[in-house]
């Protein structure tokens, strides 16, 4: 089995404020690190529902969490379908939701998955291996304008047009089949001052293509919004993000639902009678990994945890 170190593990579990008899959702099961900590804190009345698009992750986590199988339900699905899938199981309210977004370390490290520019493999990048859209199709079939759109929007890539143009030129000669072929094309589109900078020149482009393939931001917008409607009073949502686009979206959704309704300031209302927002921010600023965690797991360096609670 692949090694996976759960990021901000203690901080996220602590902020979930787990009740032993509660109903919880791990919307991004991965290799089960967070789920294990949650289910260990539940009694026989408590239950954990785990979602993942990756069947391999579900299989490996089922083995790791076998001793708690009576208290865990595994669901092969994107967490954006959480409300619908739980309703089918007669679950309409939960005490807490955890989302650990992005790609897990095993997915990055499995060469054949095509997520990483460090290994040469066929362009794939699917979290859900049963879906049809792959990175190969994005790179070889998307129009110049579509490529520019995703590289700019999802990768915040300043050289999006140059990269898209080079991709277009190369695939006219022959398909771009592998990760290393794509890296070569990206390198050919960038000026030397960028190539000489620290960090991999293909990082932003790979991120953009991966987000497009897996509909990550659309899933986050829908899934988090629906998850909040399922929280019981006192229930919490904990979300770990790894790049600015995700964090900005979570921050905006949390800010919107924790903002009190606007009222006419001229109305004679006592301060204690002012309407409150349905939710309250537990973290005004995101919780970041400490130096020890960053030194032990370099992939945690960009992680941010935000926490929201439904008012009782």
211: its two tokens: 């987000």
pTM (whole model) above 0.85: yes
CATH class of the domain whose range is 9-100+219-310: alpha beta
Contacts with 44 (C-beta within 8 Å, 6 or more apart), sequence order: 71
CATH topology agreement for domains 9-100+219-310 and 114-214:
no
pLDDT of residue 271: 65
Q: Judge whether 117 and 105 are in contact, CB under 8 Å.
A: no
DSSP string of 24-84? EEES--TTSHHHHHHHTT--TT-EEEEEES-HHHHHHHHHHTGGGGGGEEEEES-GGGHHH
Strand order in the sheet with 23-26: 72-76, 47-52, 23-26, 94-100, 231-241, 304-310, 279-281
Helix (H) or strand (E) holding 233: strand 231-241
Handedness of CA 242, 80, 52, 94 (dihedral sign): positive
CATH class of 114-214: mainly alpha
217 contacts: CB under 8 Å, gap ≥ 6: 154, 211, 245, 246, 249
Give the burial string for 221-260 (b: 16+ CB within 10 Å, else e): bbbbebbbebbbeebbbbbbbbbebbbebbbebbeebbee
Contact 5, 34 (CB under 8 A): no
Q: What does the alpha-carbon distance between residue 162 and residue 187 come to, in Å, rounded to a whole number?
A: 10
C-beta separation of 41 from 20 below 8 A:
yes
Residue 138: closest CA among 215, 218, 216, 213: 213
Give the pLDDT of the chain (312 residues) as one tens digit per residue.
344 578 999 999 999 999 999 999 999 999 899 999 999 999 999 999 999 999 988 999 999 999 999 999 999 999 999 999 999 999 999 999 999 997 776 677 777 888 889 889 999 999 998 999 999 999 999 999 999 999 999 999 999 999 999 999 999 999 999 999 999 999 999 999 989 888 899 999 999 999 999 999 999 999 999 999 999 999 999 999 999 999 999 999 999 999 987 766 667 676 666 678 899 999 999 999 999 999 998 888 999 999 999 998
Contact 96, 68 (CB under 8 A): no
Strands 72-76 and 23-26: unpaired
157 neighbors 165 (Cβ within 8 angstroms): no
* Residue extents of the structural domains in the chain: 9-100+219-310, 114-214
Tokens of residue 165, six digits: 């143009």
311 Cβ neighbours under 8 A, 6+ residues apart: 233, 276, 277, 278, 279, 280
| Residue 125 to residue 311: CA distance in whole angstroms | 39
Q: Can you say whether residue 114 is alpha, beta or left, with left for phi > 0 and alpha for psi between -120 and 50 degrees?
A: left
Helix, strand counts (H, E) of the chain = 14, 7
């Amino acid at each position: 089995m692949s090694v996976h170190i759960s990021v901000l593990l203690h901080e996220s579990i602590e902020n979930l404020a787990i009740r032993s008899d509660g109903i919880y959702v791990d919307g991004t099961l991965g290799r089960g690190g967070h789920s294990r900590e949650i289910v260990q804190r539940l009694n026989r009345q408590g239950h954990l529902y785990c979602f993942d698009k990756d069947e391999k992750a579900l299989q490996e986590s089922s083995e790791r969490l076998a001793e708690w199988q009576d208290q865990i339900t595994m669901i092969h699905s994107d967490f954006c379908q959480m409300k619908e899938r739980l309703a089918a199981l007669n679950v309409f309210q939960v005490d807490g939701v955890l989302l650990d977004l992005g790609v897990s370390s095993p997915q990055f490290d499995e060469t054949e998955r095509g997520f990483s520019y460090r290994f040469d493999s066929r362009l794939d990048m699917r979290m859900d291996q049963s879906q049809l859209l792959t990175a190969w199709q994005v790179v070889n079939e998307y129009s110049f304008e579509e490529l520019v759109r995703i590289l700019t929007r999802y990768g915040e890539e300043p050289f999006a047009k140059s990269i898209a143009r080079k991709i277009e030129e190369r695939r006219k000669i022959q398909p771009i089949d592998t990760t290393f072929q794509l890296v070569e094309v990206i390198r050919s589109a960038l000026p030397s001052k960028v190539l000489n900078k620290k960090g991999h020149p293909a990082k932003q482009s790979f991120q953009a293509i991966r987000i497009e393939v897996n509909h990550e931001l659309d899933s986050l917008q829908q899934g988090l919004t629906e998850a909040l409607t399922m929280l019981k009073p006192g229930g919490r949502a904990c979300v770990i993000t790894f790049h600015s686009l995700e964090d900005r979206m979570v921050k905006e959704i949390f800010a919107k639902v924790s903002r009190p309704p606007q009222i006419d300031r001229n109305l004679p209302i006592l301060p204690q009678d002012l309407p409150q927002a349905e939710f309250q921010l537990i973290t005004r600023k995101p919780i970041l990994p400490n130096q020890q965690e960053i030194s032990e797991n370099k992939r945690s360096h960009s992680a941010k945890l935000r926490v929201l609670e439904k008012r009782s």
